[in-house]
Structure 1
């Protein structure tokens, strides 16, 4: 997801608290004056963790299954992709609700119900893009997916156009005007250059480039910040122990140098994996370069968790997370700081 970039007001060490008395947390994560980690679940939960003081806020929303989240500081609202109603829903006045307990934000803008199996949300200005991995022709040997492009207006989310991809799509991430997409059931990601401008009608689209990543089994989540791309690897979907994270420094240069249909070598990546990581099915990730932390929505290990790895962009191996919250059915994460 595209995040608004902020300069830190000053890094401070913090003690992390868990909502379920997890004794294994430590105080390695550092952050700024406002540090809010949002997480969603497949049971319709929207939860915010205040990393500074450990306060947990739950937001009551109409969706009963969520995968995809974006918080707008400018509008003070968050938008979710509802898998139960197959629409985007926006909830307003988040700051005024305060922190802690269960809050009831007012539902504001909504889209029409269009998609069938949404997986992620990427935002670029007023454009909201939802990935959908529905098998359109019912033939598993001919994978395809869809990208729904909405325009956020004062009255709602207006569907501009629908694009059909030539692969089953999962995670999305804008890097400037280019849209990167996870090619599900592979170790690859695709890029569509100048995505919004070049794809204005309803049509089948061909990626400008598709590149694989050596050592990765099945990519789902991706997030980019300050030259670094983080990819999540869920491994075998049924296994709660074989997930991993791939970190690629100087990502744009390495992706550009790779041939279309080629791969980026494992030597040009860092990989975090193993029993200590608690990574089984890391379905969504967010990376914040300002203090170098990767947040993960882990869907399977222990039934679901939110994890964080500090200083993880220069380390490979079987390392333990610096933060872990139990959260059953975790589906997406979003980090906001200022």
Structure 2
């Protein structure tokens, strides 16, 4: 089963989608697969799951008090979060989460990784390797954990010469935003090129024109979506509306055409910004190429919102109104799983 069009407005408003059948390409029916949007929170460490097909919302109470970065693994029906609590700085995995069918579920952690993290900002997964971007004042590191049947082991610690935030695997390459800047970096063949503890340098860094300060990124269907948090502190009148998302179609060829240290022109992007977007501090984003929809974790506006925008790659640069506007205090990261 393939979900070809999907946008969730369920508990947020209205939900609509279309689906394709192998027997009849013109058939439109209720999907019976899986389409879940997971969201973490700084406020309480809980995980909220929005079922995009049934319009149901489940809130999982975890043992974390603060979380940023999440990944869902269908193999054992688990999600893994990067815990940022004062005494809990590790990966935490919760297994068989779908067994909880009530609106709110209290979970016990099944797997806890080594307490190596200090300030995790994002989580990217390739096979059995879980990579955490960790950003502190004096240390910017990529922690590479390997998940085995017995839990997580710290495979390697990689020191990076720039502040980290969002990270994203695209095939074997790892893309990373350069925090406090408008730059995007790539570590080519990340896992195979960095097999032990080391200080590493990005293969290439480019300026993404139009961004003030980037945080989140997501890639799907050769489209990269990045976020711009602009004013990082609540010191300006437009703090909660000065953010944006940048949509870059045909990303691979555009990025490859820019030399190291060069600029990816704004004319090669779609910038969605303006007061009506409610984007002030969009810290994380996921993009669904089938639906051409971007789901955004907006931290500043209203204290936290899950927003969604449709037809983002076909828009021209300018303002837009989110078709999803769901309050979620302290929202910090998102993950979309479809099957």
Displacement after TM superposition at 1:30 (Å): 5.6
Quickly say closer, same or farther: Cα 1:13–1:176, change in 2 above 3 A. Answer: closer
Q: Secondary structure at the match of 1:285?
A: strand
Q: Does 1:90 align with 2:93?
A: yes
Name 2:121's counterpart in structure 1: 119
Name 1:17's counterpart in structure 2: 11
Q: Deviations over 1:305-331 (max 9, x none)?
A: 001111111212110011111001110
Name 1:228's counterpart in structure 2: 223
Separation in structure 2 between the aligned mates of residue 36 and residue 101 of structure 1, nearest angstrom: 14
Separation in structure 1 between the aligned mates of residue 178 and residue 3 of structure 2, nearest angstrom: 38
Q: Secondary structure at the match of 2:55?
A: coil
Q: Deviations over 1:122-176 (max 9, x none)?
A: 000000000011122xxxxxxx510000000111110011011110010000000
Name 1:140's counterpart in structure 2: none
- Aligned residues of 2:5 and 2:290 also touching (Cα < 8 A): no
Quickly say closer, same or farther: Cα 1:13–1:219, change in 2 above 3 A. Answer: closer
Separation in structure 1 between the aligned mates of residue 8 and residue 153 of structure 2, nearest angstrom: 42
Aligned-residue RMSD, C-alpha: 1.6
Q: Secondary structure at the match of 1:240?
A: coil
Displacement after TM superposition at 1:280 (Å): 0.4
Quickly say closer, same or farther: Cα 1:11–1:249, change in 2 above 3 A. Answer: closer
Separation in structure 2 between the aligned mates of residue 204 and residue 13 of structure 1, nearest angstrom: 41
Name 2:78's counterpart in structure 1: 77
Quickly say closer, same or farther: Cα 1:257–1:155, change in 2 above 3 A. Answer: same
Displacement after TM superposition at 1:51 (Å): 2.1
Separation in structure 1 between the aligned mates of residue 221 and residue 107 of structure 2, nearest angstrom: 33
Alignment of structure 1 residues 309-324 onto 2, 5 Å: 309-315=309-315, 316-324=317-325
Normalised to the residue count of structure 1, the TM-score between the two structures is 0.90
- Aligned residues of 1:294 and 1:310 also touching (Cα < 8 A): yes
- Aligned residues of 1:68 and 1:120 also touching (Cα < 8 A): yes
Separation in structure 2 between the aligned mates of residue 273 and residue 10 of structure 1, nearest angstrom: 27
Displacement after TM superposition at 1:300 (Å): 0.5
Name 1:3's counterpart in structure 2: none
Alignment of structure 1 residues 186-201 onto 2, 5 Å: 186-201=181-196
Normalised to the residue count of structure 2, the TM-score between the two structures is 0.90
Separation in structure 2 between the aligned mates of residue 74 and residue 188 of structure 1, nearest angstrom: 35
Name 1:8's counterpart in structure 2: 2
Name 1:107's counterpart in structure 2: 109
2:157 aligned to 162, 174, 182, which one?
162
Quickly say closer, same or farther: Cα 1:336–1:164, change in 2 above 3 A. Answer: same
Q: Does 1:298 align with 2:292?
A: no
Separation in structure 1 between the aligned mates of residue 8 and residue 209 of structure 2, nearest angstrom: 36
Kindly tell me the number of residue pairs found equivalent between the two proteins.
Answer: 318
Q: Deviations over 1:271-312 (max 9, x none)?
A: 100011010000000111122211111000011100111111
User: Segments of 4+ in structure 1 off by > 3 A?
Assistant: 9-15, 25-33
1:145 aligned to 128, 140, 143, which one?
140
Q: Secondary structure at the match of 1:261?
A: coil
Q: Deviations over 1:207-241 (max 9, x none)?
A: 00001111101110000011000001000112111
Q: Deviations over 1:246-285 (max 9, x none)?
A: 0001111111100100111000000100011010000000
Q: Secondary structure at the match of 1:284?
A: strand
Quickly say closer, same or farther: Cα 1:162–1:275, change in 2 above 3 A. Answer: same
Separation in structure 1 between the aligned mates of residue 223 and residue 260 of structure 2, nearest angstrom: 20
Q: Secondary structure at the match of 2:2?
A: coil
- Aligned residues of 2:6 and 2:17 also touching (Cα < 8 A): no
